[in-house]
Each structure stands twice: as C-alpha cells, then as structure tokens.
Amino acid sequence: MAAVTESLKGRHFTLVADWSRDELLAVLGLADDLKERRHRGEEHHLLPGRTLGMIFQKSSTRTRVSFEVGIAELGGHGLYLAASDLQLGRGETLRDTATVLSRYLHGLMIRTFAQADVEELARHATIPVINGLTDSSHPCQALADVMTIRERFGRLEGVRVAFLGDGNNVCASLMVACAKLGAEFVAATPDGYEPEERALELAREAGGSPELTDDPRAAAEGADALYTDVWTSMGQEEERERRLKDLWGFGIDEELVRLAGENAIVLHCLPAHYGEEIAESVLYGPQSAVWDQAENRLHSQKALMALVMP
Ligand code: CP
Ligand code: NVA
C-alpha cells in the first residue's frame, strides 16, 4: 500500500474511472483511520500550512463545509471562491486561472457544470484538482458512498446496490466506483433517464456488469443498499415539472424498503425532497444510513486531500 499511497501525491481526482481499485481502497483505508482518530479526539495534521482553494459555480452545503472543515482539521486552510466573484466569471480562461492559482494553492476543488471544464483546469494546474461535482459526475460523493456501504456490511465485494430514479451524475460515479470495487449495481430509471452511455462503458471497462431496469420493485428485491438522489439536479430547474411527472413512482417509500428486506440500508447523497425521490419516514427511518453517509464526506475527502496534496 505504501507504493500506492506515494503514487497519489499530485494526482487529480476528476473521475472515479481514472483511479485504480487499489488507489480507491487506499483512500477508504485512510478515511476509516481518520474517522477513528477524529472520534478519539486525536490531532491529525497531515497537511500543515497547506491551502485548498474551492471554486463553486453551483450551490453546496455538504461539499463546501466538509472540504473547508476537512482541510482545517488536517492543519491547513480552505479558501471559498465563488466563481461569480472570480475573473473567471468575467471571461478569464480556465488555463490562466489554473496557472495562477497553482502559484498560491496546494490543491484546488471545483464544482461546476461541464466535466470538460474540470479536465481543462486539471490539464493546466500544477496542483491536484478535485472534482466537487459536474453535470455528469460526483466522484467525491462516490467515495463517501462506498465508505458507508463498506462500513455497514464490512465489505464491498458482492454487495448489491440499487439506484432508483434519475440516472444522473451521482448515479454515474457510484456505478463506476461499484464496478471498481466489486459491488453489484442496478439502476432502475424510467425510459429516457438511464445513466449516460459513457458512464456505463466506464463501469464495464472497470469490470462491472451494471444492470438497467425500468421496474423499481424488481431492483429493490435482493438489494443490500437502496440509493436515490434528487429528480431535478442543479441546472435542470426548468425541467422540474416534466421530471416530476416522468419520475413519479421511482421514489423510495416504506414499501420499497420492505421489499429490499430488513438488512438493507438506504442511501441518499442529499439534499432530499420529501415525498418525491424519498419519503421522510424512510430518510429518518431505522434503515437509513444517510446521516453517516453525509458525515463520511468529511472523512473520505480528508483522506483524499491528505493523499493527493503535496
Ligand atoms: N451531496 C452533496 O454534494 O451535497 P451539497 O450539494 O450540499 O454539497
Ligand atoms: N444530482 C444532484 C446532486 C446534488 C449533490 C445535482 O447535481 O444537483
């Protein structure tokens, strides 16, 4: 594992698919360790004096707070950068932004629309770039997701994950992470809401066999983890009415949880919309692992930063 850990210094984390199984496991291993150290109240200043810049072009609660608290707990400093306040918002190029910010910072997280913009930033930055969500992926979320699943079941191999609803960015990254780590994956979506073909290809290339269905009940039966996300992602607000209609019936309610069985867990990346993709009683019910999952954003991203930042 020492060789894997060394190889990660300076690496970008823009897509789960770019990282090997062992590299992902190195993050999860350190994340578990950092979680324990935090709960014991032990100091763990693995990045003293380092600064992480965080560019946000979309809203955030968890990503912003977990990265900002995370870098502080590692002994460093987080700098919140609203994209609209940067010259980037007035036409400065991603290349110039990356080149300049690389002179000040030790790591750069970005949440934006186009995956291509994150890749462009990474191409020109000499510091690690971390993808904090794009329209097509959410790799940091996937780290916390698989950490939570492993925590609950003690393994990832053979665990069956059912994603219900919109086959969106969160679905895509989770599907590839499951493929890399040996978990089974089924996506239950209405016609037209399947995961993107490119994400399916990446999952297959990673050794997975993602299944697709339009029957949420069939997906729930035999699932160890039921996962859902909002039906209208950031940037899709104008489609909300149509999406509500199209996705109706794909939400996680108590009946669906019963179909999965009493040992199944329920996951949601949050924010949630009660009565749409998830029932309030399920979110706060005994099988919900959602709050641990949200907490695990902190531990898994601290591990990620500690491994990639110089
Ligand atoms: N799950 C997630 O990324 O939440 P935020 O949008 O609040 O960051
Ligand atoms: N799919 C959602 C995830 C939010 C964390 C979105 O992109 O808005």
State mean pLDDT over 241-256. Answer: 98
Residue 97 and residue 169 share a domain: no
Residue 99 and residue 146 share a domain: no
Q: Is it the case that residue 136 has pLDDT exceeding 70?
A: yes
pLDDT band at residue 5 under the 50/70/90 scheme? confident
Residue 164 and residue 80 share a domain: no
Residue 18 and residue 134 share a domain: yes
Residue bearing tokens 């899709």: 236
Q: Is 246 a catalytic residue?
A: no
Residue 187 and residue 213 share a domain: yes
Catalytic residue among 11, 62, 106, 138: 138
Residue 300 and residue 209 share a domain: no
Q: For residues 233 and 236, what is the distance between their CA atoms, to the nearest angstrom? A: 6
- Proportion of the chain above pLDDT 90, given as a percent: 97
pLDDT at 178: 98
Q: Is 138 a catalytic residue?
A: yes
Residue 289 and residue 153 share a domain: yes
Residue 303 and residue 286 share a domain: no
Q: Is 140 a catalytic residue?
A: no
Read off the pLDDT of residues 210-244 as tens digits, 9 standing for 90 and up. 999 999 999 999 999 999 999 999 999 999 999 99
pLDDT at 3: 76
Residue 133 and residue 191 share a domain: no
For 116, the domain range is 2-138+295-308
Q: Is it the case that residue 2 has pLDDT exceeding 80?
A: no
CB of 234 shorter than 6 A to ligand 2: yes
pLDDT at 1: 65
pLDDT band at residue 133 under the 50/70/90 scheme? very high
Q: Is it the case that residue 161 has pLDDT exceeding 80?
A: yes
pLDDT band at residue 15 under the 50/70/90 scheme? very high
Read off the pLDDT of residues 68-113 as tens digits, 9 standing for 90 and up. 999 999 999 999 999 999 999 899 999 999 999 999 999 999 999 9
Q: How many domains does the chain have?
A: 2
What tokens appear for 79 in the block? 């700098």
Catalytic residue among 111, 160, 268, 299: 111
pTM score, whole prediction: 0.98
Residue 257 and residue 154 share a domain: yes
Q: Is 269 a catalytic residue?
A: yes
Read off the pLDDT of residues 214-223 as tens digits, 9 standing for 90 and up. 999 999 999 9
pLDDT at 4: 79
Tell how far the Cα of 197 is from the centroid of ligand 2, in angstroms: 19
